[in-house]
Amino acid sequence: MPIRVLTADDHPVVRNGLRAIIANERDIELVAEATDGAEAVALYEAHRPDVVLMDLRMPRLDGIGATRAIVAADAGARIVMLTTYEGDADIYRALGAGARGYLLKDMLGAAVIQTIRTVAAGGRVIPPDVAARLVEFTPRVDLTERELEVLGLTAKGLRNRDIARAIGRTEATVKAHLKHVMEKLGVDDRTAAVTVALQRGIIHLD
Residues 8-66 have pLDDT tens digits of: 999 999 999 999 999 999 999 999 999 999 999 999 999 999 999 999 889 889 999 99
> What's the whole-model pTM score?
0.69
Let me know whether 88 and 26 are in one domain: yes
Let me know whether 97 and 122 are in one domain: yes
Higher-confidence residue of 133 and 100: namely 100
Average pLDDT over residues 169-188: 90
Let me know whether 121 and 162 are in one domain: no
Contact criterion met (CB below 8 Å) for 40 and 54: yes
DSSP string spanning 100-151?
SEEEEGGG-SHHHHHHHHHHHTT--B--HHHHHHHHHTPSP----HHHHHHH
Let me know whether 40 and 79 are in one domain: yes
Let me know whether 123 and 91 are in one domain: yes
Nearest to 52 by CA among 29, 31, 78: 78
